[in-house]
Structure 1
Amino acid sequence: MRYPGEPLNILHTIGLKELYPLIRISFVVDRHFKVERFKKAIMQCNKVVPELFSKYVLEDNSFVPVTDDLEGVLFIGLDPDIDSERWDLFADPQLRVYLNKTIDSYHIVIYLSHILTDGAGAKQFLYLLAKAYNIGKIDVVNHQDIDWLRQLLKEHPVKANPQVDHPTQPLTMPALMSDQGKRRRTLTFRLSKEETKQLHQAAHRQNVTLNDLFMAAFGQAVQRYSNTDEIALACPTDMRQFIPNQEQLRIANHTSRYNIAVKSDLQQPFETVVAAVHQAMTKNKREFQCFQSIKELIGKYDHYTLNELQQIVETNYHVRSISYTNFGVIDSQRFAFTGCALTDFAMLGTYRQYPMFQVAVSTYNGQINLSFAMVGNDTAERMGRAVILTMHDLLCEYILKFK
């Protein structure tokens, strides 16, 4: 049995030595959580999305099953940040789940292959998993086709522009003198529920989006360490928003990205940068700029070799050293387990080798999370923490100014 992939699966098959394509989700559930019920739920999800228990075959962009049980999928009593280093998406399942029991709770970490799905698809997987746990059996079809996207590209013709994806003044973090003590690390800093509420209100009053605020805050926080007067960032966007029937289950890669580069003087008020980011993003959305990054890949997919397609990705969707992603709101009503309290939720991108760095923003249960996953030493972790704390300071400054 072989399950064919779609063109956008190839997006995350480049730069594998620098960046292994993973999505990491962690949370804690209380002692009322039923492990056997959870195991059955994982099995139910595989019936809907058989690629989960499959290896990825790069040569023909397909998925081939490697197991029909939880062997190689569920791991109990292991440190996920250590054990997941041996995960091979080209030989192992595209899903990996770690479960660790404490006296009164279970700590769960879920890894999903970014080759198989994007952040929005990962959220849909979480909802599917919770539904399977809560009702026992799920009867739904997963859709991965991109016919709708091919039609959109015809309706909104854009010209690919590699310069947009390769900024002349990229953001950077400073290199460190020593790599000693380097290991996988994750960190999440949460805005309080009150801060989250107030930030929503301030954004609404100023007619900007929360995403504008996060990008501006991240850009300025990193700019403090960069020799640049510009904030150049790529902002992933979920193209499912353009599908007429958005209710379909789509655990797949349907992401493209907007690219912005705005002038930023660290002496100017933060709200000036927010306004510039908002203006750039509004223009990009109006012009469907996000289609630039995937147009050539989709147009040439049926006629070009894998190596040529990967080069097209490098030209239009390359891996940036400094990266931003916003997973948006994870619905706490849909991602919940019957009879259990769920806390400490965090959703991250892959582990980036410092000085590469990514901030991942997510919102769960009324709180904004600012997170990162990195490979680095204690000093690198402090640098990452400093960026996130600076973001928090800038956002709180915005709240105070526009209460």
Structure 2
Amino acid sequence: MRVKRTSDYISCGYMDLIELAHVDRIYPVMYCKLVIQGDFNLKRFKDSIEKSAQYIPEILYSVDFKQCRFINVQHTVNDVFFTGNDEEGFISVWDLSTDTQLKIFMMQDNNIWNLTIGMSHVLTDGVGFLQYLYLLASIYNGITLPGGLKNIRNMDMVIKKIPFCISKNHDPIHEKVICRYHGENKYYCLCCCVNEMDFKRICVKAESLNVSINDVLMTAYSRIIAQRLRETNVSIPCTVDLRRVCFEKNRLTIGNMTGLYRSIPVFVADEDSFETTLLQIHKEVRRQREALQCFHGIKILQMLYRKIPTRNLVWLIRGNYHLNPISYTNMGKIDSNRLYFADCNIKSCYTTGTYRKASDFQLSVSTFKNVCTLNCTLSGGIQRKTEGETLLEEIRKELIDWLNR
């Protein structure tokens, strides 16, 4: 059965163009990895994907990178599933220009299912990805969806109210790198977990200091970067979900709505305590949030989107929006009360960022059932894999050392 789709194409939005602009360096796909135990019903799962396409038709479209649009090439739900048995092959052959924007790899061992659910970053960001997973789970579980439910993929009404000149900050780019090794082009998804007991204690300690968990995680990351680079001044770009400013809760907003605190400058002297760095980051994030610097450049992007061809705009983005080789993204809390499948138990779950080529490195963080997963997705050789594993463990150790002080 084919999902009825009335349009031949759907234009990409102005926020989607940011992802299109850097496909040569970061291929725009992200993943959610789940281990599910129980009576998982594959047919019911496929039916749920088909129904979800009524709300998010783009999941069965392909991307026309030249024309900057999603095109209807009559994919079916069966095309969503990777038929091979090699997960690395699944990652390496997924081509958004010919394939679906949702892609799933699964392996079954008795009543244990290992699922890797991939989503196009051209279609949505990490928060939108979670929204899609919640939508899919709701359909699978037979939960009645609100009448008239419609997906919103732009922030036009809110952007109009944002002042034009918000930030004069430059985007400092580190010339040094922390995970440089090249080599064969293999794909690695690396994880290091902070267990439930330790993470709960970290939450309690953060609350006692009136700082956020995100502040704490960024602090540990910044201090390790400073040690690695042997520098006292580091700068970390930090993503921020603009939905909190733009929309009330429970709106379906599966799209790219991520702003960026482009520069969180941190001074880390050898004698500085964790709390010293933590308070720096907390104050700077609060300052940028109050100044609405997360909207930096977005209003201009929206204006240009209506005035010049999208292909030219992608070229302008590529020339003026430079990627920092060292980055950070907090995918947030994965709500186990919303992401579940009837008659099953999700034993573990985490989300990843996009795969980074040498020598870029991104720390991705997500939590599920109070387990915090530190993750990086890399392409390269075995040396790069080993270096990535070492970095994650150093960040985890920095958190635990602070907890135990």
TM bin, normalised by shorter chain, reads over 0.9
- Identify the match of residue 143 of structure 1 among 142, 147, 152: 152
Report whether the alignment pairs 1:392 with 2:396.
yes
Report whether the alignment pairs 1:219 with 2:225.
no
Report whether the alignment pairs 1:175 with 2:175.
no
Name the amino acid aligned to 2:216: L
Name the amino acid aligned to 1:127: Y
- Identify the match of residue 240 of structure 2 among 228, 237, 240: 237
Calculate percent identity across the aligned residue pairs.
26
Deviation at 1:244, TM superposition (A): 4.2
Query: Match for residue 280 of structure 1?
Result: 284
Q: Does the 8 Å CA contact 2:195/2:371 hold for their aligned counterparts?
A: yes
Query: Match for residue 385 of structure 2?
Result: 381
- Identify the match of residue 164 of structure 1 among 152, 156, 170: 170
| Matched residue SS, 1:7 | coil
| Matched residue SS, 1:249 | coil
Q: TM-score, normalised by structure 2?
A: 0.92
Query: Match for residue 39 of structure 1?
Result: 46
| Matched residue SS, 2:138 | helix
Q: Deviations over 1:233-289 (max 9, x none)?
A: 111111110124332111111111112122122442122111111111111011001
- Identify the match of residue 27 of structure 2 among 9, 20, 31: 20
Query: Match for residue 291 of structure 1?
Result: 295
Question: What stretches of structure 2 of length at least 5 have no aligned partner?
Answer: 1-6
Name the amino acid aligned to 2:180: A
- Identify the match of residue 131 of structure 1 among 138, 142, 152: 138
1:318, 1:185 → 2: CA distance? Answer: 25
Query: Match for residue 270 of structure 1?
Result: 274
Q: Does the 8 Å CA contact 1:160/1:295 hold for their aligned counterparts?
A: no
Query: Match for residue 187 of structure 2?
Result: 184
- Which ranges of 4 or more aligned residues in structure 1 deviate by more than 6 Å? none
Name the amino acid aligned to 2:133: L
Name the amino acid aligned to 2:177: T
Distance 1:152 1:238, change over 3 A: farther
Q: Does the 8 Å CA contact 1:13/1:310 hold for their aligned counterparts?
A: yes
1:377, 1:267 → 2: CA distance? Answer: 35
Distance 1:171 1:263, change over 3 A: farther
Range 113-122 or range 236-245, more displaced: 236-245
Name the amino acid aligned to 2:178: M
Report whether the alignment pairs 1:206 with 2:209.
yes
Distance 1:16 1:281, change over 3 A: same
Name the amino acid aligned to 1:258: Y
Deviation at 1:227, TM superposition (A): 4.4
Query: Match for residue 328 of structure 1?
Result: 332
1:77, 1:60 → 2: CA distance? Answer: 31
1:213, 1:341 → 2: CA distance? Answer: 30
| Matched residue SS, 2:344 | coil
Report whether the alignment pairs 1:79 with 2:105.
no
| Matched residue SS, 2:31 | strand
Query: Match for residue 109 of structure 1?
Result: 116
| Matched residue SS, 1:40 | helix
Query: Match for residue 3 of structure 2?
Result: none
Query: Match for residue 4 of structure 2?
Result: none
Query: Match for residue 358 of structure 2?
Result: 354
Q: CA RMSD in A?
A: 1.9
Name the amino acid aligned to 1:143: I
Deviation at 1:5, TM superposition (A): 2.4
Equivalent residue pairs, number: 395
Q: Does the 8 Å CA contact 1:171/1:231 hold for their aligned counterparts?
A: no
| Matched residue SS, 1:284 | helix
2:143, 2:205 → 1: CA distance? Answer: 42
Distance 1:244 1:84, change over 3 A: closer
Query: Match for residue 318 of structure 1?
Result: 322
